[in-house]
Amino acid sequence: MSALPADPHLPAIHLRPPRNWINDPNGLVFHDGHYHVFFQYNPHGPQHSNVHWGHFRSPDLINWEPLPVALTPTPGGYDADGCYSGNAVSVDDRMVAFYSAHRNDRWWQPITTAESQDNGRTWAKRPQLLIAEPPAGTTMYRDPYVWRQDERWRMLVGSALDDGRAAALLYESDDLENWAYLGPFHTSDAAPGTGPIGWECPQYATFGDRSILIVSDWTPQNGPSHTTVHTGHEKNGRFTPAASPVPLDHGPDIYAPALLKAPGEDRWLLWGWAWEARDDGWAHEAGWAGVLTLPREVSLTADGTVVQRPARELLALRGARVLHRTGHVTRPEPAELGQVSRTFDLTAALIPDPTGTSGLRLVTSADGSEYLDISLDPAAGHLIVDRGHASLDARARGGSYTAPCPAATRPGTPVELRMIVDRSIAEVYLADEQVLTLRFYPLADGPWRLQARTTGAGRSDFAVEAWNLAPGGVHQETVLAGQGRDAELTRP
């Protein structure tokens, strides 16, 4: 088992600095042989304020190098109170970052840009805003997403309209400098009060003549809420959905995902922000908050289902296989499967007991009182992830969360799942590519071990394999974070 860091909850293979606040992934771009991942970052503390753009890059999605903080608020400038979310594009020998310029004295966040001509090490902001004013009839305006399509540049901006609808607004340009507003690309239901007040961080991906629009739902009462995906197609600058929107992720702790089309292939990658599921005071004591999910591959099936799976490159993180068990379990005694480290990758084929719930338990305390349950409910057709007993600290959030799993309703049919756990984050993928992401905070000394269990009167069959994961290589360096202070940007 690998040695633990000073903070046992600090993830080992998920991207984040070793301390302070992060939120939305930004500026996903492939440039000069590297994947670049930027993110909202406060270099001075574990709270959402003083927002910069932090920066990592990688040649292979495994080995990540921290680069100097890319964007820093300019005192007295148009982004004086934060360089908020956006994205980036690669154009010839330069990268252009589009972002939301935040000031506390205006309700909208104008769109502006910064450029780098040295592979992201230094950035120059444009002297004036790119799009200074929102269109008439808007009550929220932020988070540009720019992409190249059919020999033209296009931009979506997250918005809310004064008639109560959320919207993604569309712009087009020939040169990245002069942008024409074309109106709403897509909106929520027309009747006020039937949907979110605003859409943040719109993302768009095409799959032939079909496409998906991902939006993060925001309300003024509660702020960030959840993320939904709309499937359909575009015609004449308007997106027409083919079905009702569905959750992108069925877990409680993911928001503001960002897309990147992988170079030289028809593959879309996605990162999301997994926020904390513990009291702010605990996060402040720990000195850090937020983590990015692992990169995922996003695709669209023939029937219009949006599917996700861990990026194929992540298989390279697997070390020794520490567990390989097949068998069955009956009530009341669980089947002990073996030990795992605090960062592991698991695959399982489970045939659920039709008379109850059955699945796996990750036990993190020697006496069995602290655990995370991953189970199948054949009657409801659900995957259930229950963290009600996952931390001995009452400051950690509990709750039980479900994802649709039709295969569980078919007697004798194996349900395949993959789960990647990294100290305080679990990403659970079903074979039909539904995914559920949540945070949990075990306190006990362990060792961590897995069990197979059932609550029914019959039996549940299982085949389980697990590998401990080792972080890729990361260069350590101290980077200037702005305003005369240093902040070390590394991945643990």
Map out the domains of the chain as residue ranges: 21-313, 318-469
Give catalytic residue positions.
24
CATH number assigned to the domain covering 21-313? 2.115.10.20
State mean pLDDT over 333-355. Answer: 98
CB 143 within 8 A of CB 85: yes
- pLDDT at position 169 over 50: yes
The residue type found at 183 is G
At 335, the pLDDT band (50, 70, 90 cuts) reads very high
- Of all residues in the chain, the percent with pLDDT exceeding 90 is 90
pLDDT given for residue 328 in this prediction: 98
Q: Can you tell me which residue has the tokens 């088992």?
A: 1
> What are the DSSP E strand ranges found in 178-317?
180-187, 198-207, 210-219, 223-235, 238-241, 246-247, 255-261, 268-274, 288-289, 291-292, 296-300, 306-310
CATH 3.30.420.40 for domain 318-469: no
Q: How do residues 382-402 score in pLDDT, each as one tens digit? A: 999 999 999 999 999 999 999
State mean pLDDT over 285-308. Answer: 96
At 233, the pLDDT band (50, 70, 90 cuts) reads very high
Report CA 423 to chain centroid distance, whole Å: 16
Comparison of pLDDT for 75 and 196, the residue scoring more: 75
Judging by beta carbons within 10 Å of its beta carbon (0-12, 13-18, 19+), is residue 158 exposed, middle or buried? buried
Q: Report the chain's C-alpha Rg in angstroms.
A: 23
State mean pLDDT over 469-482. Answer: 54
The C-alpha angle with vertex 258 and arms to 103 and 20, in degrees rounded to 5, equals 60
Give the global pTM: 0.94
Rounded to an integer, what distance in angstroms lies between the CA atom of residue 420 and that of residue 294?
Answer: 9
pLDDT, the chain, mean: 93
- pLDDT at position 478 over 50: no
The residue type found at 34 is H
- pLDDT at position 439 over 70: yes
Rounded to an integer, what distance in angstroms lies between the CA atom of residue 287 and that of residue 442?
Answer: 17
- pLDDT at position 215 over 70: yes
Rounded to an integer, what distance in angstroms lies between the CA atom of residue 154 and that of residue 172?
Answer: 4
pLDDT given for residue 191 in this prediction: 66
pLDDT given for residue 193 in this prediction: 65
Compute CA distances 70 → 31, 120, 217, 257, 414, whole Å. 15, 7, 27, 20, 47
pLDDT given for residue 477 in this prediction: 41
Which range (397-401, 439-443, 448-452, 485-489) has the least confidence? 485-489
Q: How many residues does the chain have?
A: 492
Which distant-in-sequence residues (6+ apart) come within 8 Å of 323 by Cβ? Answer: 337, 338, 339, 340, 346, 450, 464, 465, 466
pLDDT given for residue 131 in this prediction: 98
